[in-house]
Amino acid sequence: MRAETSRNWHIGVIGGSGLATGIELEDAQEIAVSSPFGEPSGAVTTGRIGAARFTFLARHGAGHRLPPHGINYRANVDVLKRCGVTDLLALSAVGSLREDLAPGQFVTVDQFIDRTTGRAGSFFGEGLVAHVSLADPVCARLSGHVREAAQAAGGVVHRSGCYLAMEGPQFSTRAESRMYRAWGADVIGMTAMPEARLAREAELPYALLGMVTDYDCWREDEAGVEVSHVLEVMHANARIARATLQELAASLPRERAPVAIDCALDHAFITAPAQRDPALMARLDAVAGRLLGTRG
């Protein structure tokens, strides 16, 4: 079955709680959207920048009230899908595991190592089993547009990087930081997983623009990571992040052509139709309704 894709861009943005207020959205509205997967981090703010629609969700809630392990990632992705988002952009503060990825710079992440534990990492489960491909976890097209927009906004942007997702909320030990470098990770954060996994299950092309705030604690001659320094650099990066969205809106093609991720679930279901749980199918009306016949 072919995906029912929109010819118009509608970019979902998950980022800091102050991001939406700094963007000049036309016809901006704040809307509370409910999810069968529980409470999302908060209401969404939706509006337009030029011809493109943007819908923002503060990942940690208003006032940064939610820790990384307390975020309902499933509900967040689900409500954005319900809003009609076609593509999903994550803006995330990251620590650097490489000398050349300096604080104040940006990176469009293209790979992940998931070290999180105890987070609900799938919309599917008992009653409807599905396996999606995650070999290439981000959308190359969306990442390319975002990278060019960040460069146009004045950012120093690295083309690719592997993101190590840790559980937190504590920062790494020095031994862990050295190990992650040996694994080939380039940046480290606490929120990209299971967010990227869920975006793929929801058939949402996903890109992550990492805002480098600090060097992780692998540098022996420096003190460990301090949240005050992270916040200082993050606030400085916010101006470029906001300008990036303006540049992105201006540079997107007039029409949104389909991509393969729009059909990520086409061959993912394993459970026989007769064995599928109707209650779970009903919860999946936004995520998988085009295939299950449950879309409202």
Angle of helix 140-152 relative to helix 227-251, nearest 10 degrees?
A: 100
H helical segments located in the chain? 73-82, 140-152, 174-183, 192-201, 227-251, 278-283, 289-292
Closest by CA to 261, choosing from 136, 85, 161, is 136
Rounded distance between C-alpha atoms, residue 164 and residue 187, angstroms: 6
Chain-centre distance for alpha carbon 149: 17
Residues 112-140, buried b or exposed e (16+ Cβ, 10 A)?
bebbbeebebebbeeebebebeeeebbbe
SS3 114: strand
Q: Which residues pair with 64 in a beta bridge?
A: none
Is there a catalytic annotation at residue 100?
no
Active site residue 110: no
Strands (E), the chain: 10-15, 26-31, 44-49, 52-58, 87-96, 106-109, 111-115, 157-158, 162-166, 187-189, 206-215
Choosing from 78, 216, 262, 285, the catalytic residue is 216
CA separation for the pair 41, 72 (Å, rounded): 7
Catalytic residue, from 214, 266, 277, 285: name it: 214
- Half-sphere exposure of residue 243: CA atoms within 13 angstroms, side-chain side: 12
CA count, 13 A, side-chain hemisphere, 249 = 22
Give the number of other Cβ atoms within 10 Å of residue 52's Cβ: 20
Question: Residue 246 in 3-state DSSP?
Answer: helix
State the alpha helices, DSSP H only, in 4-121: 73-82
Catalytic residues: 214, 216
